[in-house]
Amino acid sequence: MNFIQTRLVKPLSPTQKYLKSITSDNNDLISQQISQDSTFLNNLIARLADSFNFLQKRQNLLIKKVRNQTLEIQKNQTRINELLDYCKVLEREMHAKALVCVKRVNSAIWHLESLHAFIDEVKLKRAILRFKKVLESRAKDGDK
């Protein structure tokens, strides 16, 4: 204890006073620099947090937009599939109607051919009848 008491009572030498003042000044400068750095870092962290929040909001908006577009694409794809199914039904109906038309045309052609054959037959019969009349009239003329 005696040593500590003498130490406390013993005045500081000029070198010690100088070192103490330098240390005190350095501590003040270091504290001031730490305070400035802390303020700078806190501001930087705040700006980074704001940037992160902005980017997160932007990301959420983009995700929402992509989801909406995906839903729209799915709706469009469903509509396209419905239209394709409807086109297939129409194609089948048109094919069936085309077959009916072909049958009707074939039937009409057959009837026309039959009619032509009948007309030809009638013409032939008329021609034969005319020929017979001519022959009969010549035969009558020949008898006279």
27-84 pLDDT, tens digit per residue, is: 788 888 889 999 999 999 999 999 999 999 999 999 999 999 999 999 999 999 999 9
- The DSSP output letter for 12 is P
pTM for this prediction: 0.47
Confidence of residue 22 (pLDDT cuts 50, 70, 90): confident
Task: Name the pLDDT band for 13 (thresholds 50, 70, 90).
Answer: confident
Output b/e per residue, 69-89; b: 16+ Cβ within 10 A.
Answer: eeeeeeeeeeeeeeeeeeeee
Looking from the CA of 134 toward its CB, the CA atoms found within 13 Å total: 6
Calpha distance 88→74 (Å, rounded): 21
pLDDT for 102-120, tens place per residue? 999 999 999 999 999 999 9
pLDDT given at position 57:
98
pLDDT at 42: 95
Token pair belonging to 39? 């303020």
Find all residues with CB under 8 Å of 20, minimum gap 6, and list them: 12
- Asked if residues 20 and 12 have their Cβ atoms less than 8 Å apart, the reply is yes
